Structure 1
Amino acid sequence: MPDSPHALVLDADNTLWDTNATFRRARSAMIQVLQGADGEEARPDGEKRLETTDVLYRLSQHLPSSGGEGPDLEQLARAAAFYMSGLRGGPEAGIQTSRLRWASEQVRAGRQPPGCDRSWARKAAEAFRSALSAPPPLLDGAASLLRGVRAWRTARPDRRTSVLFSEGAPDRLEVAFDAHGIGGGQYFDDIVLREKTPDTFRDVCHAIGNAVDLSEPQAAEIVVIGDSLQRDIRPANATGCTTLYCPGDLWGRETPEAASEQPDYTLGTLDEALRILDL
């Protein structure tokens, strides 16, 4: 980029910090309760607990959302217990996708897993919540980028602004904010918690244009950094932002499915943005 931008918009989960690792620990804690104290014991079909944590994520995609970031945790625990019970359902019962669907259908129908009462599901759900309350670690390069953003803003506060834009649940994000000093204003002028769409990106860009001291606010050079081509890069491209894509563990290194998802730059680690943006 020839010039330093007027505004920087960063995603939070799996861009600045490793939310995916925190959720993996939470799923592991739930599975440990469902399998008993010995978390390494084999399931009836021979699969280990570590592999089952990935199944929990897939099960969550088959259950209705409770209005937050996924399904009701007690429902998820019950579905996992059905999946792990060794029972099968349907003519394609040996296929994992069919097992996932069957387990979620049992929960939707209000059934209880064999040998599992409601207190068991509540205990598993609480183990998940407790593990999720631990602050997520910063990803490689995040601390360097945050320090660079702070220095960049301080040098020209009238012409530079930074925004954290996230779809995460406020209660969970607050844990990360407190752990990493995000909410105190030293790194970001604004924190936006909304669904990421072209319209919400336009709203953010409009607010940025009014915040920086330019004769033509619409001419503000805005850079967006995120880990998802669909949730971050595509809507940011639609609003004319410069986009930096930093692949993470959750989605992996994605391939653009259309020109609308093509980032301007792809990063190996977040601190590479310091050079690209001349911060």
Structure 2
Amino acid sequence: MARDSELVAVFIDADNTLWDTDAVFAGAQRALLRAVESRVGILTPQADRLLFVRAIDQALAERHHAGLRYPPRLLVRATELALRGVQANDAARAVWNGGKDYLLSDGDLAAIEERFFGDLAKPPRIRQGVTEGLSQLKDSGCLLLIVTEGAKAKVERNADVLELTRFFDRIIEGRKTPDLYRRMLSLTGAPARAFMIGDQLDRDIAPAKAVGLETIYFPGGFRPRWAPDEASVRPDHLISSFDQVPGIVFDAVAGTAGAQVRHI
């Protein structure tokens, strides 16, 4: 496809960028901790209950090939061990290796895991300024696409619930690498100006910068301890509300004849 000098494409992450997935996970993790505490009869001594369970969560994610998408039953088992005095890293290692005796029965384990999945299915809240920002971008003629590593069906469901579907030309699911962003640029006709907005410096920002996209970092409520810092990735823009995006985009394309929407 020929390069379109007027087309402006804006690629946008979904989870923790358009909506607050982290708050949903936080609620589910707190509920899981309460359930394990109740069944084993031990309360965490740590004042910050979310910090307690997230230390275990990240220790598991660092050891599992699926990262943060590891099976939740591992978190249930490791949380029990942590409540019994095992350090988070050691608890994660123990459940990964197996062979430990647990107080929780298999039935309790299955029930807590099922409740956890149910809590994760709750709809998230839209992030600040998202509807306003998307409206301005769409009205200006920008091509808007969601780029996500999450399940496309779940992203579609959340977008519908939050009444955001009308803004987007397409939802793309895939592992965020420079090659994916190159394919995105090809798919949209190699626009003269393309932007990427996201909350993850290593997944959204760094690979997009590597192929020349202008990047907009919208920090979320949770940053894994293995994530890089801003100084090392150097996003082009940092925002605190999504409605700051149109000003950045419009300033960047100032002087052009206008933008065109291309449906793909």
Same-fold status (TM-score > 0.5): yes
**1:268 aligned onto 2:243:** no
Q: Check whether the contact 1:225–1:246 (CA below 8 A) recurs between aligned residues.
A: yes
Out of 167, 183, 187, the residue aligned to residue 203 of structure 1 is 183
- 1:42 matched to 2:43: yes
Per-residue CA shift, 1:157-176, capped at 9, x if unaligned? xxx42111011133542441
CA separation of 1:271/1:74 partners in 2, compared to 1, >3 Å: closer, same or farther? same
1:256 aligns with 2:236: no
Question: What is the CA distance between 1:38 and its match in structure 2?
Answer: 11
Which residue number in structure 2 is paired with residue 116 of structure 1?
104
**Partner letter of residue 78 of structure 2?**
A
Preserved contact between residue 229 and residue 256 of structure 1 (Cα < 8 Å)? no
Contact 1:142 1:271 in 2 (8 A): yes
Letter in 2 for 1:103: A
CA-to-partner distance for each residue in 1:110-146, whole Å, 9 max, x for gaps? 3354321111111111121111111111111112112
Contact 2:10 2:145 in 1 (8 A): yes
Give the corresponding residue for 1:233.
Answer: 205
Match of 2:124 among 108, 133, 136: 136
Whole-Å separation in 2 of the counterparts to 1:198 and 1:62: 23
Amino acid at match of 2:17: T
Where does residue 176 of structure 1 map in the other structure? 158
Name which structure has the greater RCO, CA cutoff 8 Å, separation 6+. Answer: 2
Cα offset, 1:63, TM superposition: 4.3
Question: Cα distance, 1:5 vs. partner?
Answer: 5.9
TM-score (norm 1): 0.78
- Contact conserved, 1:78 with 1:112, CA < 8 A, in 2? no
Q: How many residues align?
A: 243
1:189 aligns with 169
How far does residue 62 in structure 1 lie from its aligned partner after superposition?
4.2
Q: Gapped runs of 5+ residues in structure 2?
A: 252-264
Residue 46 of structure 2 aligns to which amino acid in structure 1?
A: E
Q: 1:245 aligns with which of 210, 213, 217?
A: 217
Structure 1 unpaired stretches of 5+ = 89-98, 154-159, 210-217
- 8 Å contact kept, 1:59–1:104: yes
For residue 192 of structure 2, the aligned residue among 220, 224, 232 is 220
Q: Against the structure 1 CA distance between its residues 56 and 105, is the aligned structure 2 distance closer, same or farther, given a 3 Å change threshold?
A: closer
Over residues 89-117 of structure 1, what are the superposed CA-to-partner deviations in whole Å (9 max), with x where a residue is unaligned?
Answer: xxxxxxxxxx2232123212333543211
CA contact (8 A) 2:217 2:235 kept: yes
Residues 42-81 of structure 1: pairs in structure 2 closer than 5 A: 42-43=43-44, 46-48=45-47, 49-65=49-65, 67=66, 69-81=68-80
CA contact (8 A) 1:145 1:270 kept: yes
How far off its partner does 1:225 sit?
A: 1.1
Structure 1 Cα separation of the partners of residues 99 and 154 of structure 2: 30
> Could you give the per-residue CA deviations for residues 191-245 of structure 1, whole angstroms, max 9, x where no partner exists?
1110100000000011111xxxxxxxx4521111112222112111121111112
